[in-house]
């Protein structure tokens, strides 16, 4: 499995990561090595094997539908890069 | 006093040989003296620690002390600590002040422990050498040209250099056991679901588990008793009774069946590390245990499976870092896409970006079945091997790592070589089993670790096995001479 510079750019775009042009070849090389390494999985015989998403055999616990959190918006927004009137600000998205 | 174990310090506090405040001051002084060289702490909490220590002294004076009251500990910087910077080793969270305490922090505070500071770590716990931290690498106190292991490298270096008597850690694929092994300490990763993950910054949610790094198994048992248990805020935390781990330390090892996976002793293992495992097994035989060769036929799949599952989950978990609600935001974004991509591109380091991209790729249309679904099937095979093994034996033992600590910069160019340092660790997380590492000797004057893998929720037996080994040997009492 070998990734081209264009492959890396497209994965980076899907992952919402800006990658500088000078870094692309390093990512192409290291990601190709990783994918080549994990391609060993192809050699495993897995017909009829049930996939395992989670280590514990438990069903998802549900909580009662009642209010358990208090409003702490101001506290939480202290970590925000930009807020105004209780709202998170981002660049204009609608012209 | 800095060379004492937690258990010894607890006895001395109770006997009023010194106060919690004096103890905290002694460790804070060591942090001031040694941290500039080792870089084990990201944040030191001088004022808060002394205030907590004084409060503990009052509780002790009133006769209200519990087993951990007044004992100093260090917290890995992956755990949210209310009002204290919680960086996760990343530029992304360099400005993040946690608005609440993680469950483990809350429990250890309630138990009366004194938080000395937050320890350095690989960025978002992604690394095996502590070299991916935005705050710079941590040095191994046994040899400062070597890595301390990772991702809980700061916690390990802090305890090894006695800047703290114990520290918390997290283990997604070896991040407690491997640094404990490389710094001559005892580390425990409990069963998945044993300790709440609430407030622990997520890397790979089906693998992440919190635990501790200490000098002895007895100290680990003391802390485990405080941190284990149900928490409704973590939907995967198990509602199961917590045994008294300290009381269980002396349970007899007579007839304990130890499994030795033959696949662990294949190429890649430094023969001297293998010899140290066999020497440790002789000690266990003297204690009445029996040793059985077992096979984990799908062991070879564990690292490749891990490097599909963990990056996939990481790419999803780290999508929350978007430069909008918290964390780093780039300068002058021109539009929303620019804000997302540059905040993430500039806020994350190279290894984190590599894992996010690996995860994005294996989850993307056209590749999902070949990688992600396939890895879930091989994960089943890996777990089944362990289930089969535990029908024949009570615990599994082997090396924690293939070699002693490697040099700083030695493996940074080739991620796959770095990943293989956790070859004996990854499968334990994939299966969700508990694992430990304890010191079992030295190779090239560097400590090496014995790994004990237990059955689900069988931490008590694992801790007892570790404790009784430590009563017969003195590897866990060695300290790096440069930080005496």
> Nearest CA to CA, how far is B346 from chain A (Å)?
8
Q: What is the pLDDT of residue A95?
A: 75
Tell me the C-alpha distance between B130 and A78, whole Å. Answer: 30
Tell me the C-alpha distance between B116 and B51, whole Å. Answer: 11
Query: B114-119 and B41-44: which strand pairing?
Result: antiparallel
pLDDT, tens digit only, all 484 positions of chain B? 899 999 999 999 999 999 999 999 999 999 999 999 999 999 999 999 999 999 999 999 999 999 999 999 999 999 999 999 999 999 999 999 999 999 999 999 999 999 999 999 999 999 999 999 999 999 999 999 999 999 999 999 999 999 999 999 999 999 999 999 999 999 999 999 999 999 999 999 999 999 999 999 999 999 999 999 999 999 999 999 999 999 999 999 999 999 999 999 998 999 999 999 999 999 999 999 999 999 999 999 999 999 999 999 999 999 999 999 999 999 999 999 999 999 999 999 999 999 999 999 999 989 999 999 999 999 999 999 999 999 999 999 999 999 999 999 999 999 999 999 999 999 999 999 999 999 999 999 999 999 999 999 999 999 999 999 999 999 999 999 999 9
Query: Residue B8: in which H helix or E strand, if any?
Result: helix B6-14
Quote the ipTM score. 0.96
**Residues in chain A within 8 Å Cβ distance of B322:** 16
What angle do helix axes B302-317 and B350-363 make, rounded to 10 degrees?
100
- For chain A, positions 27-86, list CB contacts with chain B under 8 A: 27, 30-31, 33-35, 37-42, 44, 46, 49-56, 58, 60-61, 63, 72, 75-76, 78-82
Query: B210-214 and B186-189: which strand pairing?
Result: antiparallel
Task: Please check the confidence at residue A54 and state whether its pLDDT lies above 90.
Answer: no
Confirm whether B374 is a catalytic residue.
no
**Residues in chain A within 8 Å Cβ distance of B348:** 17
**Catalytic-labelled residue, pool B20, B129, B133, B151:** B151
**Residues in chain A within 8 Å Cβ distance of B341:** 12-13, 16-18
Q: B308, A41: Cβ pair inside 8 Å?
A: yes
What are the residues facing B195 on neighbouring strands? B228
- Partner residue facing A18 (CB), from B304, B324, B342: B342
Tell me the C-alpha distance between B132 and B296, whole Å. Answer: 32
Q: B357, A15: Cβ pair inside 8 Å?
A: yes
A58 pLDDT band (50/70/90 cuts)? confident
Model's pTM, two decimal places? Answer: 0.98
Tell me the C-alpha distance between A5 and A76, whole Å. Answer: 39
Task: Please check the confidence at residue A1 and state whether its pLDDT lies above 80.
Answer: no
CA atoms within 13 A on the CB side of B443: 23
Query: Three-state SS string across A13-47, please?
Result: HHCCCCCCHHHHHHHHHHHHHHHHHHHHHHHCCCC
E strand residue ranges, B2-122: 41-44, 72-76, 114-119
Comparing CA positions, the residue from B168, B139, B185 lying closest to residue B78 is B168
**Residues in chain A within 8 Å Cβ distance of B358:** 31, 34-35
Q: Dump the DSSP string for B349-363.
A: -HHHHHHHHHHHHHH
Q: What percent of chain A has pLDDT over 70?
A: 99
């Amino acid at each position: 499995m070998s990734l081209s510079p264009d492959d890396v750019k497209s994965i980076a775009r899907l992952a919402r990561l800006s990658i500088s042009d000078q870094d692309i070849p390093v990512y192409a090389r290291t990601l190709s090595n990783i994918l080549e390494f994990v391609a060993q999985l192809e050699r495993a015989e897995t017909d009829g094997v049930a996939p395992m998403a989670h280590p514990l055999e438990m069903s998802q616990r549900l909580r009662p539908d009642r209010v358990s959190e208090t409003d702490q918006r101001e506290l939480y927004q202290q970590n925000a890069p930009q807020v105004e009137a209780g709202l998170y600000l981002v660049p204009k998205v609608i012209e | 006093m800095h060379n004492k174990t937690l258990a010894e310090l607890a006895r001395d506090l109770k006997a009023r040989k010194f106060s919690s405040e004096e103890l905290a001051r002694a460790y804070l002084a060591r942090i001031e003296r040694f941290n500039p060289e080792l870089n084990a702490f990201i944040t030191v909490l001088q004022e808060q620690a002394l205030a907590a220590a004084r409060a503990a002294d009052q509780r002790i004076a009133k006769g209200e002390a519990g087993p951990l009251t007044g004992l100093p500990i260090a917290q890995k910087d992956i755990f949210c600590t209310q009002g204290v910077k919680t960086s996760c080793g990343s530029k992304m969270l360099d400005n993040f002040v946690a608005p609440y305490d993680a469950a483990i922090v809350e429990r250890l505070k309630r138990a009366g422990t004194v938080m000395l500071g937050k320890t350095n770590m690989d960025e978002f716990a992604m690394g095996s050498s502590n070299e991916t931290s935005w705050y710079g690498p941590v040095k191994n106190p046994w040899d400062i040209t070597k890595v301390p292991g990772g991702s809980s490298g700061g916690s390990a270096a802090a305890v090894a250099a006695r800047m703290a008597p114990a520290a918390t850690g997290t283990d997604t694929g070896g991040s407690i056991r491997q640094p404990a092994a490389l710094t001559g300490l005892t580390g425990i990763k409990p069963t998945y679901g044993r300790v709440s993950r609430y407030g622990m910054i997520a890397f790979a949610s089906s693998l992440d588990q919190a635990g501790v790094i200490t000098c002895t198994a007895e100290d680990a048992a003391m802390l485990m008793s405080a941190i284990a248990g149900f928490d409704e805020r973590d939907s995967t935390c198990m509602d199961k009774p917590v045994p008294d781990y300290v009381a269980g330390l002396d349970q007899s090892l007579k007839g304990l069946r130890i499994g030795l996976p033959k696949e662990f002793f294949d190429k890649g293992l430094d023969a001297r590390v293998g010899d140290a495992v066999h020497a440790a097994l002789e000690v266990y035989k003297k204690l009445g245990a029996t040793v059985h060769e077992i096979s984990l036929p799908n062991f070879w799949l564990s690292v490749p499976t891990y490097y599909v599952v963990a990056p996939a989950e990481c790419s999803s978990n780290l999508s929350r870092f978007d430069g909008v609600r918290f964390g780093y935001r780039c300068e002058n974004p021109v539009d929303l896409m620019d804000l997302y991509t540059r905040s993430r591109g500039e806020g994350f380091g190279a290894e984190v970006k590599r894992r996010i991209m690996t995860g994005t790729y294996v989850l993307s249309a056209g590749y999902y079945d070949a990688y992600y679904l396939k890895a879930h099937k091989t994960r089943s095979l890996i777990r089944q091997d362990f289930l089969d093994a535990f029908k024949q034996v009570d615990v599994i033992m082997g090396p924690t790592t293939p070699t002693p600590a490697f040099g700083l910069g030695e493996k940074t160019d080739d991620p796959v070589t770095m990943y293989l340092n956790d070859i004996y660790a990854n499968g334990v997380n994939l299966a969700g089993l508990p694992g430990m590492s304890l010191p079992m000797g030295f190779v090239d004057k560097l400590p090496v670790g014995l790994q004990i893998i237990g059955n689900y929720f069988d931490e008590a037996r694992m801790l007892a096995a570790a404790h009784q080994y430590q009563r017969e040997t003195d590897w866990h009492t060695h300290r790096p001479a440069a930080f005496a």
